[in-house]
Chains A and B, each alone.
Chain A
Amino acid sequence: MRGKKKIAILVVASLFVYLSLFTWNLRTGHLDALSSHTGLDISGIVLKPGIWVTEQVTGFWYRYIYLVGLKQENDRLKAEDAELRRTNMLLGSQARSAARLESLLDFRPPEKWAFSGARVIGHRMGPAAALNTLVVDKGKALGVTDDMPVASLKGVVGRILRSGAATSTVLLLTDSNSRIAVIGANNRSPGMLSGQGYGKPLNLRYVNQNATVDPGELLLSSGLSGIYPKGLPVARVTKIQRSDISLFLTVQAEPLVDMAGLEEVLLLSLEPGEQAAPAANAADSEAGTETAKEDANGAADQ
């Protein structure tokens, strides 16, 4: 009987200590920072050499040995290059005239963002990886900060969830906890894009019933949340449904990027001297947890 009482006291005490530690960490983030600077970085140190060797071997194979179809690929790339040059020439003149008009109307010039590449060294790792994330080989030592936007050449990938000294975790836009303020490329209808899990369509929320959205329309980041720059391609609309009982349209979209096949990503940072939207940043700093940050951004978007 006495033994049982002792066990019960031990269980209650352990639970109390555990919940206290958990709550303290949610408020301060100290234990998360500790695990990022130890566990995440150690994982990065262990993985990087192996990945480097694999890339060198496969690179050697494809560059110097496996040259099948090279001539055809070269011809196709030349044609693509010519087409892009023509498009670029037209768009360049339009962009210059837009900048001239904006300066005439005394618009504030847009923020300037710098891109830096990072290599993907893993996706979900370990038993505590329940969210849709990937791990990249850059960390705080190279200027990576939490909430930094991550993109690929095709579109937005997500944002930095947490970072160690030399390794960082990226929350993908397909994750259920991801929220991105977007706007339609053609009709400029705003909404908030949220993930529903890997392999499932994205959900565009809070689009008014009378808003115009076309199937196949490109969704761009609106820049209202202060995390992503304005105009980055994020997703493409796949399905639109009107409901009699809802105030909003039911809109589904698909990401532009194949998350499973990503090998390299681009990290976006504001160039020195530039500052993100102050209101959104203030909202971010007040929010204690990652989810709270998401909610704040979502609220800012509406």
Chain B
Amino acid sequence: MLPTNSALSLLWWGVYTILGIWAQRTAPGIDFFAPGFIVSLQEQSPQRTVLLAVLWILLAEGAGNLPFGYGLAQFGLLTAAYFMGRSLFEARSYLFMALLGLWTGAIHPILIYSVSSLANLQVDMRPVLVQGAVQMAIFPVIWFLTDHFFPERLRQDVRPL
């Protein structure tokens, strides 16, 4: 039988993933897993975060329609921005989350353009730019909600400043 905390973590992230898939079906082009990834980086062990990242990368790539590469680059760049920004900002501050949202939204059109160009595919960039702007705005909100409902028992850190 699974230890209680692991079972709770599995259940919580399982429900989060299901809600994320439905949200991504409803709002095309928006990533609902990236804020959860940041919460996991802040609150969970690295092994668990890596497992979640692998699952979400596969979901993004499988449900998407570009050749494999977008999700890997997006999570890689998000991780790099998080660790670099952590040395300048308080890791759980709302300002830092807003900046990470700006970063996620800004890299979305760049990655789409890069991956589609490398694969010689034509993509209409106008809706992609809109999606990037929406992503910028929605990222801190989802992070806040995820952080708010994240079980206290699973936390390794304190509440946000």
Contacts and interface: CB of A to CB of B under 8 A. Distances in A.
A26 B60 CA distance: 17
B62 A42 contact: yes
Contacts of B120: 289, 291-292
Contact of B118 (A22, A124, A164): A22
A26 B66 CA distance: 11
B157 interface: no
A33 B34 CA distance: 23
B68 A125 contact: no
Given A26-B119, A47-B22, A127 B68 contact: no
B69 A25 contact: yes
Given A47-B22, A122-B25, A129-B28, A161 B65 contact: yes
Interface in A33-60: 34-43, 46-47, 50
Nearest to B61: A35
B130 interface: no
B72 to A, nearest CB: 7
Nearest to B135: A127
B39 interface: no
A35 B59 CA distance: 7
A129 B68 contact: no
Interface in B55-79: 58-74, 76
A290 B66 CA distance: 10
A238 B63 CA distance: 34
Q: Binding site of B, secondary structure by majority: helix, strand, loop or mixed?
A: helix
Contacts of A50: 22
Interface centre among A21, A43, A46, A130 (most CB of B within 10 A): A130
A21 B60 CA distance: 17
B29 interface: yes
B22 A126 contact: no
A281 interface: no
A169 B67 CA distance: 13
Contacts of A169: 65
6 A-B pairs with least C-beta separation: A39-B62, A128-B64, A40-B62, A35-B61, A31-B68, A124-B28
Interface residues of A, number: 46
Given A127-B30, A127-B108, A130-B112, A290 B59 contact: no
A39 B67 contact: no
A289 B72 CA distance: 20
Interface in A137-189: 161-162, 164, 169, 171, 176-177
A164 B61 CA distance: 12
Interface in B66-119: 66-74, 76, 108, 112, 115-116, 118-119
Interface stretch (B41-49, B121-129, B147-155): B121-129
Contacts of B135: 127
Contact of A127 (B22, B58, B70, B76): B70
Given A22-B69, A291-B121, 9 more contacts: A25-B67, A38-B62, A39-B61, A46-B18, A126-B28, A126-B31, A127-B64, A130-B29, A292-B120
Given A47-B22, A124-B65, A176 B60 contact: no
B70 A128 contact: yes
